[in-house]
Amino acid sequence: MKTQKEQYELLMEFQSNGFNIVTCGNCGAVVIHRTKMDELSCYECGFTSDPCDFPDLQTEINPRYENGFKTT
C-alpha cells in the first residue's frame, strides 16, 4: 500500500517532469496536462479556460494522515 507521502512524492516527480494532474473546474473530471500551458481544455465536457480554473488534484500532504494512516 502506498502512503500519502509516497503518493505526494510521485506527484512532485511528475510535476518536475513538466506534467500536472488537475480537476476540471466545470465537471470535476481528472485532467492530466503539460505545465506552462496558457489554456486548458477538459476532455470530458469541453470546458476551456485558464489553468486557475482547473484546481490541482493534490497540493500538499494532508496533516490528518500520519505514516499513511488516517488519524482522527
Domain positions in the chain are 4-59
pLDDT recorded at residue 66: 55
pLDDT of residue 65: 56
Provide the pLDDT confidence category of residue 4 given band limits of 50, 70 and 90. Answer: confident
Give the pLDDT score at 57.
80
pTM across the whole model: 0.73
- 57, 25, 58: which is closest to 40 by C-alpha? 25
Predicted confidence at residue 60, as pLDDT, reads 67
Task: Please tell me the predicted confidence (pLDDT) of residue 5.
Answer: 81
Query: Phi/psi at 5 (nearest 5 deg)?
Result: -60, -45
Helix or strand run (H / E) with residue 13:
helix 4-16
Q: What 3-state class would DSSP assign to 5?
A: helix
The alpha-helical segments, DSSP class H, found in the chain are: 4-16
